[in-house]
Amino acid sequence: MEKILEVKNLRVSFDTYSGEVQAVRGVEFDLNKGETLAIVGESGSGKSVTTKALMRLLPEPHGYIKDGQILFEGDDLAKKTPKQMQKIRGKDMSMIFQDPMTSLNPTMKVGAQIMEGLIKHQKMGKTQAKKRAIELLELVQIPNPHERINQYPHQFSGGMRQRVVIAIALACNPKVLIADEPTTALDVTIQAEILDLMKDIQKKTDTSIIFITHDLGVVANIADRVAVMYAGKIVEVGTVDDVFYNPKHPYTWGLLGSMPTLDSEEEELFAIPGTPPDLLHPPKGDAFAPRNKFALEIDFHEQPPMYPVPGSETHFAATWLLHEYAPEVEIPASVKRRMKDISKSSDSGEGEKQ
């Protein structure tokens, strides 16, 4: 598979009055052409900051890329000047933000906002850009595009606005589309429509998508691969089947376990105790160790490396439990039952070995 984006040892920090907050601490991943990679994690895990860094949208100078490379078709974006970035942003890479209410300009007609990028990047004339804008509105399934193009954002509903935002992002046929919680502000039925739309468009345009979300249901729906982030690091990455049917990191267990399944009869949800660490003073060992009841002694001293999961080429997890000397642990019953629940229909997951 062709890699379009390679992120290597990305570190992002913010300077604050109380010191340096290490929001992203050595993130590595690849994005293949035409695939959807979902990044999941709780608020503060660094998922949004990672994508902002990719787009070079950090509030510089207090938010900055401390180290690492962002190779876009072999070209390092971390070293580009703001001027050079302007040529890439919106053209090769574009972004959909969470809140469709605030990411559109309320004083500009919707059509003009879509045409902006076309005129700037594609050097189109006004009439040509307008024609393309109408095509784009058709692509995102907005009825009556000829009339809608002359309306203002407040005349659109939330779901329709998000479609407009998607149309803007797609205007210049970007190679990479970054969607930062694009459906979080929407109702479930509208969310389902937007997800279908994005999958549909991806089929037509072969765009690679990075999809940020905290909703594991959405991940299962849209993603080819998943990266689970915790405290500024990727703790587990693999195909959706790897991660959902054969999770290896205790944090992933916790995330999956804390969501009730629709046919579950559990008395109590498997909750992860405590709260995420303060990245102003990142812990010495594994950041998840204090909340992890499976933590080993070494977790408190040393950060685990990314281990390949035996039997899979796509699945990696950063936990000492995968070390050859690690003791066997019993996955919490509530999680295990869920895994079984979930995986009974699948033939791919080999299940838990114990």
Partner 1 sequence: MSEEKLLEIKDLKQYFKTGRHSVVKAVDGINFDIYKGETFGLVGESGCGKSTTGRTIIRLYNATDGEVLFKGENVQDRKSQTDLKKFNRQMQMIFQDPYSSLNPRMTVMDIIAEGIDVHGLAENENDRKDKVYELLETVGLEKQHATRYPHEFSGGQRQRLGIARALAVEPEFIIADEPISALDVSIQAQVVNLLKKLQKEKNLTYLFIAHDLSMVKYISDRIGVMYFGKMVELADSDELYKNPIHPYTKSLLSAIPLPDPDYERERIRHRYDPSQHDTSEEPEFREVRPRHWVLCTTKEFEAYKKELDNK
Chain residues in the site for partner 1 (CB under 8 A): 42-43, 187-192, 195-196, 214-221, 240-241, 244-245, 254-264, 266, 268-273, 275, 342, 345-346
Reported as type and span, the H/E element at residue 211 is strand 208-213
Smallest separation, CB 217 to partner 1 (Å): 3
Which residue, 68 or 250, is less far from partner 1 as judged by CB? 250
153 burial (CB, 10 Å; 0-12 / 13-18 / 19+) is buried
Minimum CB distance to partner 1, residue 75 (Å): 33
What is the number of H-type helices and E-type strands within the chain? Answer: 11, 12
Beta bridge partners of 96: 179
φ, ψ for residue 149, nearest 5 deg: -65, -25
Q: What are phi and psi of 42, to 5 degrees?
A: -80, 170
- Pick between residue 102 and residue 261 the one whose CB is nearest to partner 1: 261
Tokens of 61: 């100078």
What is the distance between the alpha carbons of residues 198 and 200, in angstroms, rounded to a whole number?
5
Amino acid (1-letter code) at residue 275: T
Q: How far is the CB of 132 from partner 1 (least distance, A)?
A: 29
Nearer to partner 1, 6 or 215 (CB): 215
CA dihedral (220, 350, 1, 168) in degrees, to 10, reads 0
CB 8 to partner 1: min, Å: 28
Write the CA distances from 59 to 53, 103, 107, 246, integer angstroms: 10, 17, 24, 38
Q: Identify which of residues 112 and 218 has a Cβ nearer to partner 1 in the complex.
A: 218
Compute the distance between CA of residue 94 and CA of residue 351 in angstroms, rounded to an integer. 38
CB atoms within 10 A of CB 30: 16
User: Alpha-carbon distance 237 to 89, whole Å?
Assistant: 27
CB of 65 to partner 1, least distance (A): 26
Nearest CB to partner 1, comparing residues 121 and 338: 338
**Residue of 302, 298, 283 lying closest to 231 (CA atoms):** 283
Residue 114 C-beta: closest distance to partner 1, Å: 26
Q: Which amino acid is at 125?
A: G
Which is nearer to partner 1, 92 or 224 (by Cβ)? Answer: 224
Strand residues in 102-216 grouped as ranges (E):
176-180, 208-213
Closest CB to partner 1 among 135 and 196? 196
Quick check: 144 and 177 in contact, CB under 8 A?
no
Identify which of residues 240 and 331 has a Cβ nearer to partner 1 in the complex: 240
Least Å from the CB of residue 218 to partner 1: 5
Least distance to partner 1 from the beta carbon of 35, Å? Answer: 14
